[in-house]
A and B are shown apart, each in its own frame.
Chain A
Amino acid sequence: MAVTSVTSADGKSLTISIEGRFDFSAHQAFRGAYEKVSPIPAEIAVDMSGTTYLDSSALGMLLLLRDHSGGDSSNISLKGCNEDIRKILTISNFEQLFKIH
Chain B
Amino acid sequence: MKILIADDNNTDRLILSRVLENFGHQVFQAIDGTDAISKFEQHAPALVLLDVLMPGYDGYEVAEIIKKESSRAWFPIIFLTSLTEASDLAKCIDAGGDDFVSKPINKIIIKAKIDAFERIINLYHTVAEQREKIQFHNEHLIQEQEAAKRVFNNIAHRGCLEANNINYHLSPMSIFNGDLMLAAELPMGGMRLMLADFTGHGLPAAIGALPASEIFYGMTTKGFSITDMMIEMNTRLYSVLPRGVFCCVIVIDIDSLDEMLTIWNAGAPDSYIISQKTQTVELIHSSHLPLGIQSPEKFEVKCQSFPFTKQHKIIAVTDGIIEAEDSDLKMFGEKRMLSCIEKNLKSENICEALMAEVDVFCGTTEQSDDLSLLEVSFPEFVTQDVLKSTENKSAVSGTSDAVISLNLRGKSLGNFDPIPLFLQTLLSCNELLPHRARIFTVLSELYNNALDHGVLGLDSAMKNDSDGFANYYQKRAQGLTELDVGFVNVSVDHHPTATGGKLVFDLTDSGNGFDVERIVKEGSKNYSGRGLPLLLNLCDSIEYLDGGKRVQATYLWDHNDIPE
Contacts and interface: CB of A to CB of B under 8 A. Distances in A.
Nearest to B334: A87
A43 interface: no
Contacts of B290: 92-93
B200 A56 contact: yes
A72 B295 CA distance: 9
Interface in A68-101: 72, 90-94, 96-97
A63 B200 contact: no
Contacts of A91: 267-269, 285-286
A63 B293 contact: yes
A60 B267 CA distance: 13
Nearest to A64: B244
A96 B199 CA distance: 19
A92 B266 CA distance: 7
A10 B254 CA distance: 57
A57 interface: yes
Given A57-B200, A92-B267, A63 B243 contact: yes
B287 interface: yes
Contacts of B269: 91
Given A93-B267, A97-B293, A60 B244 contact: yes
A40 interface: no
Interface centre among A55, A63, A90, A94 (most CB of B within 10 A): A63
Contacts of A57: 199-200
B286 A92 contact: yes
Give the secondary structure class of A's interface.
helix
A93 B246 CA distance: 13
A26 interface: no
B184 interface: no
B338 to A, nearest CB: 14
B245 interface: yes
A97 B245 CA distance: 15
A90 B267 CA distance: 8
Contact of A67 (B243, B288, B289): B243
A59 B199 contact: yes
B77 to A, nearest CB: 43
Given A57-B199, A57-B200, A91-B267, A63 B288 contact: no
Interface of B: 199-200, 243-246, 248, 266-269, 285-290, 293-295, 298, 319, 323
10 contacts: A57-B199, A60-B246, A64-B243, A91-B286, A92-B286, A92-B290, A93-B286, A96-B289, A96-B294, A97-B293
Interface of A: 55-57, 59-61, 63-64, 67, 72, 90-94, 96-97
Given A56-B248, A90-B286, A92-B267, 15 more contacts: A56-B199, A57-B200, A59-B199, A60-B199, A63-B244, A63-B293, A67-B243, A67-B244, A91-B268, A92-B248, A92-B286, A93-B286, A93-B288, A93-B289, A93-B290
10 smallest CB-CB distances across A and B, nearest first, come from A60-B244, A64-B244, A56-B199, A93-B289, A91-B286, A67-B243, A92-B267, A63-B244, A64-B243, A60-B199
